[in-house]
């Protein structure tokens, strides 16, 4: 169907909407937005509003980009960047449930899901296929990797590497076996990820150095395992930690 803008919706002059978008009643899409094809914005959502940053200059030109097929539910807020000519970015085929918040300069990967009232502070990065549980909150500048599952009400103040399950306050539960199987990860990748997970989180020493030594060796050959280890090269914050060895989510080596 063609792009439709319902009565009482506000789409400011200068906003760019792709084909087959739907902007429902009382939704606001500001002039700072670029929406891909088939984006749906539900009532009372505000896309492209000013960042919640006390020093922000409202005359500055910055924006929000939303990828094709993304659904933005009621009362969601996505704030524009605090930097000139830059954008807060939400990927394609994401699902932002009611009252979730994406602050300025966040980057949300494709197929990510933010459940009700999930909150991202400024400059947060969320990887593709990641699920943020209801009421979870992420500290500014944190990185959350690909195919991560964050439990409801979790408080994330450190970086979360790819493929993990985390809960409470920065607690690693296991790696996300169910999610990776649904994505069709190979048996070889799953076995290597299990081994890499155990070595990273249950070996003493600096976690960055441990990961670097593992990458330098030849025991991890799959792309997925090396991507997991590569995550530890970057970032300025610390990493989530496992408080105990997981009792579930294991993949047998045999």
Q: Which CATH number describes the domain made up of 4-141? A: 2.160.10.10
Q: What is the pLDDT of residues 121-163, one digit of tens each?
A: 999 999 999 999 999 999 999 999 999 999 999 999 999 999 9
Closest CA to 249 of 190, 184, 175: 175
Cα separation, 82 vs 97, in Å, equals 24
Q: What angle do CA 150, 125, 233 make, to 5 degrees?
A: 95
Q: Is 159 a catalytic residue?
A: no
Catalytic residue among 67, 105, 111, 133: 105
Q: What is the pLDDT of residues 215-238, one digit of tens each?
A: 998 899 999 999 999 999 999 899
Q: Is 217 a catalytic residue?
A: no
223-to-163, 187, 192, 227 alpha-carbon distances in Å: 13, 13, 10, 6
Q: Is 105 a catalytic residue?
A: yes
Please report the pLDDT score of residue 212 as a whole number: 95
Stated pTM of the model: 0.94
Residues of the chain above pLDDT 70, percent: 96
Please report the pLDDT score of residue 44 as a whole number: 98
Catalytic residue among 32, 104, 111, 162: 104
Catalytic residue among 48, 122, 145, 179: 122
Please report the pLDDT score of residue 253 as a whole number: 41
The helix/strand/coil state of 116 is coil
């Amino acid at each position: 169907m063609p792009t439709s803008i319902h009565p009482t919706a506000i789409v400011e002059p200068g906003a760019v909407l792709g084909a087959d978008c739907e902007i429902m009643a009382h939704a606001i899409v500001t002039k700072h937005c670029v929406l891909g094809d088939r984006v749906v914005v539900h009532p009372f959502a505000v896309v492209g509003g000013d960042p919640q940053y006390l020093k922000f200059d409202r005359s500055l030109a910055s924006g929000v980009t939303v990828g094709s097929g993304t659904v933005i539910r009621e009362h969601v807020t996505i704030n524009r960047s605090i930097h000139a000519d830059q954008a807060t970015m939400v990927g394609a085929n994401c699902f932002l449930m009611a009252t979730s918040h994406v602050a300025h300069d966040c980057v949300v990967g494709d197929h990510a899901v933010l459940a009700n009232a999930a909150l991202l502070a400024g400059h947060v990065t969320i990887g593709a296929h990641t699920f943020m549980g209801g009421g979870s909150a992420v500290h500014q500048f944190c990185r959350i990797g690909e195919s991560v599952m964050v439990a409801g009400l979790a408080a994330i103040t450190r970086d979360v590497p790819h493929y993990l399950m985390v809960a409470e306050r920065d607690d690693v539960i296991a790696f996300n076996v169910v999610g990776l199987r649904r994505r069709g990860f190979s048996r070889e990748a799953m076995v290597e990820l299990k081994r890499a997970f155990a070595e990273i989180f249950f070996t003493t020493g600096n976690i960055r150095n441990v990961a670097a030594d593992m990458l330098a060796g030849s025991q991890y050959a799959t792309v997925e395992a090396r991507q997991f280890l590569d995550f530890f090269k970057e970032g300025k914050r610390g990493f989530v930690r496992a408080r105990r060895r997981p009792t579930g989510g294991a993949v047998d080596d045999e």
